[in-house]
Amino acid sequence: MGFSIGGLIKSGVHALEDAGKKAIKGVVDGVVDKIENKVAGTVDKFEKVLYPVAQGVNAIAGLFGKRGSSADKVNDGKIVGANGQTFPGNTPLNDVAGVKPSNGQKPTEKIFYVNGINTNLADQQATMQTMADKTGAEVVGIHNATEGAISDLKQSAGDKINKGNNPAVDTLADGVYGELKAGRPVHLMAHSQGAIITSRALTDVKNRLMIEDGMTKEQAEKALSNVKVETFGGAASKYPDGPQYVHYVNRGDLVPGLLGLGKDRGEPGKGAKVIVFDDFHLNPVKSHSIDETYLNHRVPFDQARA
């Protein structure tokens, strides 16, 4: 075997380049973390003020017709099945036939998905199909209707502090409670505002188990351990203990960085796994996209929890 000085030099150069890239990345990551944590801390501090401020902005926007179309409002809190068929929010979740993998394979399980802001029924359906194809599961939606970005943001601010009515929260809470009472495990996925809705709904379920069923806190959490939760770019920073959690956070996505779990912040739920990855895009919408970004980084639930 010959000894190559050129090869040795080339390897050394590559090693230096890699070390340089890692050093630069470390510096950039540190700066990003400091900025995000500083801004996120300020957001957390004034969280209770955000809702009334958002209400005011929403009201002013309404005077100028800037709140967007409310055509999707009729679907708020509806359960979404295959072919876009919708069902009343009080329909047992397990009774709804969902979207199945397009390759015809038999679904491995059933997943219930809550969408984020600015997402109409057709957009949620498209994501449900992508989700079914990438997970091999049958997917049923809980629709969080959009009334335009401004109104949706106002609602999100309320959800974070348990203020205001959100039909999607009620549907999800009733659905999860019903599934647990029937002895069936539940697997939830949520994106963006959908994570806030999920956190709020699971808190409602936990309280219901304790108040209506007379469970202790520990018993309620044990019952909730039959719930698997995956969030993607979640805007919630707090989750109730009990369920099994996997949270996906893209460091290129401002939503979880400023409003959600971000880096080493928030309350992800006891025993939760927070998976942080780097997937930066010039378009911030793509960085936050569940279809184009987050689902590409998702791994099977048990693998993520291992």
pLDDT in tens, 140-186: 999 999 988 767 666 777 777 766 789 999 999 999 999 999 999 99
Domain-located, residue 103: yes
Write the DSSP symbol of residue 106: P
Tens of each residue's pLDDT in the chain, 306 residues: 454 554 545 555 455 555 554 555 455 455 555 555 555 455 455 555 544 544 444 444 344 444 445 789 999 999 999 999 999 999 999 999 999 999 999 999 999 999 999 999 999 999 999 999 999 999 999 999 998 876 766 677 777 776 678 999 999 999 999 999 999 999 999 999 999 999 999 999 999 999 999 999 999 999 999 999 999 999 999 999 999 999 999 999 999 998 999 867 799 999 999 999 999 999 999 999 999 999 999 999 999 999
- Counted domains in the chain: 1
Q: Read off the CATH number of the domain in which 79 is found.
A: 3.40.50.1820
Domain-located, residue 181: yes
Rounded to two decimals, the pTM is: 0.80
Over residues 13-24, the pLDDT tens digits come to 455 555 554 555
% of the chain surpassing 90 pLDDT: 68
Domain-located, residue 2: no
Q: Whole domain around residue 296: which residue ranges?
A: 46-305
CB 193 within 8 A of CB 235: yes
CB 235 within 8 A of CB 274: no
Domain-located, residue 20: no
- Angle at which helix 149-160 crosses helix 193-211, to 10 degrees, equals 40
Domain-located, residue 33: no
Domain-located, residue 6: no
Q: Which residues have C-beta within 8 Å of that of residue 189, sequence separation ≥ 6?
A: 111, 112, 113, 114, 131, 229, 230, 231, 232
Domain-located, residue 5: no
Domain-located, residue 161: yes
